[in-house]
Amino acid sequence: MGWLWRADADGGTDGEETPRRRELPDDTASDMEQWGGSNAAPPEGIVTGNSEFEANRFDMVRPITQERLGLLFDSEGWTWRIDSDGDLCGFWEGHLFCFRFLGDSREVLSIVAFMKNLVPIEFGEDLRDFLQAWHGEFLWPKAYVADQDEGDRVVAEVNADYEYGATDAQLVQQVMCALATTLQLFRALEERYGLDDDEGPGPAGGHQRGFDGPAWLPEN
């Protein structure tokens, strides 16, 4: 309790101590108004992606959940679905993205993307060298190869631990980061290996609600 008390001004001859009064800083009143102490107008919003999220007292740090992510996707106009594994999924430029919640408390947001085109087997060694060089230059995404009979499937991951929760704006920023960096990688691979885009660019968010998934996905 020593940090809450101080000796009397006369030196405390009787050894007694009196409580220390905490002085509020001069700008306390303005801070209280900003965070709900009055009807002060909320601060400016934060623009993230296609939406404007209001940075005010309602966007609080709280546990991440699939329900929250779905609502944020709705606010962005992105179409999504829940697959048979219980993961939230959507398509961007024809590539499948899965948003998983891992960990004991489901506090880790794991965003996994599957490149829609297979890289021909003859480029296998060059593909692995390219991904190694990518990891040396970029922080995200982590990418690896899933061998298939017809070619190599590139899988990319961006993971973030939100043990202490996140605001809506932080979640959207994390998703935007994963989408942008992963699509950058997939476009570079398509250009490098001359992969034909037979399906054309997928609509934003997929719009394949209810679709059972591409044929190359293993059946559950």
pTM: 0.66
**What value does the mean pLDDT take over residues 134-142?**
95
Q: 10-21, pLDDT tens digit by residue?
A: 444 455 554 444
How far apart CA 169 and CA 55 sit, in angstroms, is: 8
* Helical packing angle, 124-137 and 168-192, nearest 10°: 140
Q: What type of residue is 112?
A: V
Per-domain residue ranges of the chain: 63-192
CA 182 to chain CA mean position, Å: 12
Answer whether residue 137 shows pLDDT above 60: yes
Q: Name the band, by pLDDT with cuts 50, 70 and 90, for residue 149.
A: confident
**CATH of the domain spanning 63-192, picked from 3.40.50.1820, 3.30.1460.10, 3.30.70.60, 3.40.50.620:** 3.30.1460.10
Q: 150-159, pLDDT tens digit by residue?
A: 899 999 999 9
pLDDT at 16 (0 to 100) = 53
